[in-house]
Amino acid sequence: MEISNETNTVTITGNIKSINDLQVIISTIDSVIASHKSIIINIKDSISITSSVLGYLNKLILKDGINININIGDDKLFSLLDDLNLTQILKVRKIS
């Protein structure tokens, strides 16, 4: 997994699958939300996402009041988030 950020946008490429990935995601997003209360997360090609990452994102939205929009590139990941009823909360949309 690789992650980059520019202004209030975080872009993740590759599969999100390990504890190390979680730590990198948290560190990157925390640095972005230090100066932005609204962020965009682009998950370009990951086919899955760990429950720890989902928990962290839910906490940011529900407890910390951060506005998050997630753009998903993979159909399987989009379907997974839809099946978990998270598309509304996480403001998920499918991109090509």
Burial of 58 (0-12, 13-18, 19+ CB in 10 A): middle
At residue 89, does pLDDT exceed 90?
yes
Tell me the average pLDDT of the chain: 96
- Token pair, residue 39, equals 């962020």
- Number of separate helices (H) and strands (E) present in the chain: 3, 5
- What domains can you pick out in the chain, each with its CATH number? 2-94 (3.30.750.24)
Other Cβ atoms within 10 Å of 81 Cβ, number: 20
User: Which amino acid is it at 11?
Assistant: T
Q: What is the pLDDT of residues 24-61, one digit of tens each?
A: 999 999 999 999 999 999 999 999 999 999 999 999 99
Residue 96's pLDDT is what?
Answer: 78
Residue 4's pLDDT is what?
Answer: 97
Distance of CA 54 to the CA centre of its chain: 8
